[in-house]
Structures are given as structure tokens and as C-alpha cells.
Structure 1
């Protein structure tokens, strides 16, 4: 499972089912194993911004997920050549026109929760995945993330991952975060032109993560990445006044625990 965060009060730090294979004898028989934690991310103030802010973010990962009658849908202890299906979550923080003079006049965008599903296949040291999510509250469209991770374990407690990323957004997602309506463009003091953002790929980039097992169940994570806004996202007046290059770096700690729900 991954938890992807995108905007203010958000980041793109991902914890995945390929967490470090640390000793966890006391959890080996549990039906459900989770990693929960928190960290701090330094990232753009909003999509397309050239200003950076530090924001807190949650760390969530599923190490094992059991479904009665089917068995383990996710198992981080399974062989490293396996297809997996997992839940995917995202959160976009609130964007306000007062965040920057560059977006003065734009409508405020409320926070948005994203819920969906991810599918991944790992073959030894390489893993490919796709995640599709539906947005709620701040926007009502869909987003999809695609990626490949190249994985290395220099030591038993250290895992390194790096790979390319791409993101797609539906019409409502693109309109919400990159479009400028005629009403917004006409607000006194606005420096933005009217712009209709169409659905399509909006980001290409690369992400790298290092996860180190401090104890059997406590892990320290460091993540950094770069995204290049493309397509209508790059053509948006909001981005033209900001930056097409979006950088982020952050760190956090997660704790692993397990439990049973079904006898």
C-alpha cells in the first residue's frame, strides 16, 4: 500500500510493500501487519509553485493483508517475484489565493482525499506499479500514478530504491489545480490569463528512497525527488508564474505492528 501526498500539507513520500526485510519473528503469524509513522517534508507550496515550505506528513504501509477464503493479498515476507494488489491513498492540502501573489484571484481549493487501488509486480530487484485514485471534497476527478523502482539492499537493515515516475490527471483534477476561469482572470490584481487545462499526463520525474531499520520494528526513511510538470500543467499560467520543476526532500520514522481480526 502507498500513501501519496501532493500539495501543501502534503508530499510525495511513499512507503511501499517492499519495506526493509527486518527481523519480525513476533509478527510472522499475524494476519495484518502495518507500518505507521510521521515525518517532515520540504516541498513546493502548491502544485507549480516556486516557493517551498516544510509540512508534516503521515507514513502508512501495509506489510501483510489477509482476506478470508483468499489468503494473503499482501505479504512482504513472500518471494520477491510476485504480483500484488493493494489500497492506495492520497491527500491534497488546501490551496488559498493568499498563499502567493502569483495566484491572487484564484478560487480557494479545499483539501481533497484520494482513495483507490494499486497493482504492482516485483521481479527480484525491479518493481513496476500503477495506482488509480478517485478524488473527494476538493475535486471529484481521477488521478493515476505510474512508476518503476530499482531496489538494492546493501545490508540487511538498509534498503535503497530509485526510479522514474509519471502522473496523469482527469479533466476535473486538471481544471481544479491548473485551470484559470474567466472569472478568476478578471479579478482586480490578478496576473493570470484564462486557461482551460485538459486531462492528460501532468508530471514526469524520478524518486529515491532510503529506509534503514533502527530496530526490528522501527524504520527511518529519507526520500527525495524531482518532478517536471508537462502538458497542460506546464502550460498553465499558474505554473508559468511559478516553476515547472518541482523538488522535494523529507524524512520520517515509522513503527511496525501486527494484529489478528479473524480466528
Structure 2
């Protein structure tokens, strides 16, 4: 039974974390929803674990965009004992390398280092951005923790730009209820929130005097504060011990000073995704 259960749990773990983290795919932004924590009832510290899959996503072109993009993305996960590479479980890291500092059947704490594989925003994404600088890819150091019950996961993460790209710090918290109407189907839903530092919010939503002169948008300084609130709903179905299918919808709101930014065209942001995942 143990050999059969672990691939199913690993498949759910990697697939769910990957799809929650993609907003946009493989870029870590303030609108990134945190991953749902593992549904695994057991914690193992030995042996290799692998997961491969593909997802398709419709996401905003950039935080605050009124336009969307459709993008396929590979889902990759490799683990050995406490170490992992790929989509980071229990955190809002799309793709990285890290380790669990502590794990038991309910509580997990870990660290990860990740790098954006796509730019969070480019001037060419929309005519509305003409005159504004691109937001470069950067490296993030993340400390995360989760508490997991059969019916609930609480997931928190703090992430810092460590490559000097002026993307500051974010802190996220998500509560996700879990329900399995049948043994192979897991439904999840719940709220989340992300706080952004002054530097982070300025990079993504601010307009300095020089950018204002080039773009024609008014100068704007949002300061630190809540960068997004969100509601997540989804489902994951284990076809067998190896294959998992799933879908996810995330509705996000850019509130307060962030939402009032002249960069923002649409305060309500929607992300849709579906995935297939194979664990072995």
C-alpha cells in the first residue's frame, strides 16, 4: 500500500503546486496564488520522486492587464528526501530549488531559491505600457510554511528579490478547504492575500517622474500594502497510481492603492488552468 500511495500523493503535490504558482506561468508576482499544501498522509525522507506533466493556462498579460495570454507550460518535479527541484510544493514558487527544514504529517517549513523564467512585464505587452520600463526576471529567496489537515491547508510564504532587480518583498497567506466526495477526487477552495513592500509595489504599480514623462501616465507612488486578495477553486482527479488530471480557477482583486495605479487597466484578474501529470 505504501508503494502505491506515494506516487499518487507526489503527483497531486507537484501538479497542484505548479498550477497554483503560475500567474503568469513561471513568473513570481504579487498576484501569484500560493500553492495548496500536500494531501499526503505520510511524510517520507528517503528515495527519489519524479513528476512530469503539462499544463495550459489563460492568465493576464501582466498584473493589472485587461488582456490575457494563453500559454502551455511544462510541469516538472524532482525530489530526494527533504530536497526538491521544480515546482515547489507548499509555497508560491513556480520553479526552484529548495529543501524542507522540518516536516511531519501536518506541519512543514522550508526554504527555496527560484528564478523567473519569463519577464513579469514587458513594454510590448500592451500599448498602455508604452514608455514604461520592462520588469526584469529576478531571483527570489523564499521561506514557507504550511499546516495541513484532511479538510484544510494553511499556507504562508515570504519571498525576497535577491538579485537587485528592485522587486522587494512579498508575503502571502492562503486558506484552502479540501473535500473528497470520492476517493480519487479532491476539491479545493478558499481565500488568499498577498502583501507587497513599498519597493515591490512601486516596481509593479508605480510610475516615477521619468516614466511619467515618457509614458504620459501620471506619477504615482503606491507605498507598501495589500497587493492582491484572491479566491481559488479547483479539482484534482487521480486516474490511477501515476496519472492525475486537474483544473483551477483563481479570481484576484487588486485593492486600494495598488488597484488605483494608472498602470492598472482592470482590477479584477482571472486565471484559468488545466493540467495532466504523471508521477513515477
TM range (shorter): 0.7 to 0.9
Cα contact 1:32–1:66 (8 A) shared by 2: no
Distance 1:136 1:8, change over 3 A: farther
Q: Where do 5+ consecutive residues of structure 2 fail to align?
A: 1-12, 84-99
The residue aligned with 2:176 is: 149
Rg comparison, structure with higher value = 1
Alignment of 1:98-247 (within 5 A): 98-137=124-163, 138-187=165-214, 190-239=215-264, 242-247=265-270
Please state how far the C-alpha of 1:10 moved relative to its aligned partner. 4.5
* Greater helix content: 2
The residue aligned with 1:260 is: none
CA RMSD of aligned residues (A): 3.1
Please state how far the C-alpha of 1:58 moved relative to its aligned partner. 4.4
Distance 1:133 1:29, change over 3 A: closer
Q: After superposition, what is the alpha-carbon deviation per residue over 1:119-145, rounded to whole angstroms, capped at 9, x for unaligned? A: 111233112121111224443411111
The residue aligned with 1:252 is: 275
Match for residue 85 of structure 1 among 97, 106, 109: 109
d(CA) in 2 for partners of 1:20 and 1:93? 31
Match for residue 47 of structure 2 among 24, 31, 49: 31
d(CA) in 1 for partners of 2:233 and 2:276? 16
d(CA) in 1 for partners of 2:197 and 2:189? 27
Cα contact 2:190–2:231 (8 A) shared by 1: yes
Distance 1:229 1:179, change over 3 A: same
Does residue 7 of the first structure (1) align with residue 37 of the second (2)? Answer: no
Please state how far the C-alpha of 1:113 moved relative to its aligned partner. 3.5
d(CA) in 1 for partners of 2:210 and 2:136? 18
d(CA) in 2 for partners of 1:209 and 1:63? 25
Distance 1:254 1:90, change over 3 A: farther
Distance 1:192 1:41, change over 3 A: same
d(CA) in 2 for partners of 1:179 and 1:50? 17
Give the TM-score normalised by structure 1: 0.79
Q: Where do 5+ consecutive residues of structure 1 fail to align?
A: 258-263
Alignment of 1:38-117 (within 5 A): 38-59=54-75, 65-66=81-82, 73-74=102-103, 78=105, 82-87=106-111, 91=116, 93-94=118-119, 95-117=121-143
- SS at structure 2 position matched to 1:84: strand
Give the TM-score normalised by structure 2: 0.74
- SS at structure 1 position matched to 2:54: strand
Distance 1:92 1:228, change over 3 A: farther
Please state how far the C-alpha of 1:65 moved relative to its aligned partner. 3.9
Please state how far the C-alpha of 1:32 moved relative to its aligned partner. 4.5
